[in-house]
Amino acid sequence: MATSAVTKSNPKNGLANLLVFRKDPLAFLTRMARDHGDVVTYRMGGRKVTLVNHPDYIKDLLVTSNRKFEKGRVLKRSKRLLGEGLLTSEGETHLRQRRLAQPAFHRQRIVNYAESMVTYADHTRLAWKDGSTVDMRGEMMQLTLNIVGKTLFDVDLETEGSEIAESLTTFMEMFGIMFLPFSEFLERLPIPPMRRLNKARQRLDAIVYRIIRERRASAQIDRGDLLSMLLLAQDEEADGKGMTDEQLRDECLTIILAGHETTANALSWTWMLLSQNPAAEETLHAEIDRVLAGKLPTLTNLPNLKYTEMVFAESMRLYPPAWGIGRKAIADHTFGEVAVKKNSMVVCSQWVTHRDPRYFSNPEVFDPERWTPEAKAARPKYSYFPFGGGPRQCIGESFAWMEGVLLLATLAQKWKAKLVSDAPIEKMAAITLRPRLPLMMKLAAR
Ligand code: HEM
């Protein structure tokens, strides 16, 4: 049964909380939950925030009572870059866009993407050199970007990779500013971080508008991919109510960014964890060698790559690429005995709940065996929610699971990767959780 606690607070500790949060949001939220229980209300800056940390309350926030909440501050502020795409829009606009994009993510449809995923992973593994050192995060970013480009937009994003990566990093660096008092005001000033963000937006716009323009000019607009669906819907609804060019740009950019950076982070953390856990790495290799028997993976191998999937699941438990979800209450609500007033913020954190010893014993230990069907069934559903839940649940979840397993299987079939340093890998918890610095790993052929 969920328990709840409310911490008394005042403006002074609101400022102190803000400073601690900005320094290390993961440690701050963990301490709040462990010290105060399943619901804790605190002040941050001038705002009241409630952290819910029990699977029942998380389900209530994301699923059962979702109508009483809208997206929180960070995603609202992300509109500066993403506009009104699927991730940031609300209400009718969101429903309409979600209905429109959904067919591109249906199970039957994404199976067609498996071949492209493996082909690109094969290119990557052919380019790797025995004994060389690579930035594994950079490698995974380029690979997942190529895949999202090919499968959903039928474009090659190979040459745009570093430009997109740099623009995304600039955007992530804005995260610290979003929480400052008067940040709305700061964001309107021509200060260097804002100038960098505007530049990043221009660079991304140029890429996305080019993709749209080239497709429109091509002989075959309808190629059965997401871009065709969006373009055709725009044309059909050219009655003033349809998508504007800007909305189309917002959808495309959202999917390109949300559809590759998260999976790249999940894979990067997985490589790090495999390097640190040789026994699990060996079991993974044994499964891949047995199931694939030296051939490239195909869709039909997926059901037998169970341990590979367990490794990916456990990696997203310890290092969830989306580490927190924020909502703003648009009506009064209660979690247990704690009242949440309209307009206040409610947050839940995958980082905190995924490391809660009530659901995961020895939570800091990497143990893929936690993901056997029996062990999974013994835990409450919302003790693990890397893809969120309810109507705003990740549209790309099935895509990401398939991609994660196929990429790991293809790459680990031929390669091992070892961290070049034993020093702990520093985390950057901005909008997503990524390694702060390049993830340098030495490759060894298998
Ligand atoms: C490991 C990989 C991924 C993780 C951990 C992840 C996580 C999430 C989470 C937690 C949300 C919900 C945010 C909220 O409720 O505020 C979300 C939404 C979303 N994700 Fe993902 N995601 C991943 C991969 C993908 C992929 C591959 C795509 C597309 C190709 C994608 C596209 C989206 C979109 C468009 C939304 C907004 C959905 C809506 O509000 O209707 N994601 N993702």
CATH classification of the domain holding 377: 1.10.630.10
pLDDT at 3: 61
14: containing domain: 1-83+323-385
Query: Higher pLDDT residue, 198 or 377?
Result: 377
Identify whether 25 is part of a domain: yes
Q: How many domains does the chain have?
A: 1
Identify whether 413 is part of a domain: no
pLDDT at 236: 65
pLDDT at 147: 94
Identify whether 161 is part of a domain: no
CA of 191 to the centre of ligand 1 (A): 31
Query: Higher pLDDT residue, 241 or 381?
Result: 381
Spell out which residues line ligand 1, taking CB within 6 angstroms: 71, 75, 86-87, 98, 148, 254-255, 258-259, 262-263, 266, 321-322, 325, 386-388, 392, 394-396, 399-400
List all residues 6 or more positions away from 356 whose beta carbon is below 8 Å from its beta carbon: 33, 53, 363, 383
Atom of ligand 1 nearest to the CA of 148: 30
Identify whether 174 is part of a domain: no
Q: What percentage of the chain carries pLDDT values higher than 70? A: 93
Identify whether 363 is part of a domain: yes
- Per-residue pLDDT for 12 more than 60? no
**Which range is least confidently modeled, 82-96, 229-243, 377-391?**
229-243
**Residue whose CB lies within 8 A of the most ligand 1 atoms, among 226, 253, 384, 394, for a mutation test:** 394
CA of 395 to the centre of ligand 1 (A): 6
Q: What is the pLDDT of residues 79-118, one digit of tens each?
A: 878 888 899 999 988 998 898 888 888 888 888 899 999 9
Average pLDDT, the chain: 90
Structure tokens at 142: 């380029």
How big is the CA angle at 204 (ends 405 and 103), to the nearest 5 degrees? 45
433 confidence band (pLDDT: 50, 70, 90):
very high
Query: Higher pLDDT residue, 196 or 272?
Result: 272
Radius of gyration from C-alpha coordinates of the chain: 22
Identify whether 6 is part of a domain: yes
134: exposed, middle or buried (Cβ count in 10 Å: 0-12, 13-18, 19+): buried
Closest CA to 229 of 239, 246, 218, 215: 215
DSSP assignment, residue 364?
A: T
CA of 411 to the centre of ligand 1 (A): 24
List all residues 6 or more positions away from 182 whose beta carbon is below 8 Å from its beta carbon: none
Closest CA to 266 of 443, 444, 439: 439
Identify whether 350 is part of a domain: yes
CA of 9 to the centre of ligand 1 (A): 34
CA of 400 to the centre of ligand 1 (A): 9
Residue 119 near residue 130, CB atoms below 8 Å: no
List all residues 6 or more positions away from 389 whose beta carbon is below 8 Å from its beta carbon: 58, 59, 62, 63, 382
CB atoms within 10 A of CB 343: 12
Structure tokens at 114: 């498996």
Identify whether 289 is part of a domain: no
Q: What is the pLDDT of residues 15-26, one digit of tens each?
A: 888 888 888 999
76 confidence band (pLDDT: 50, 70, 90):
confident
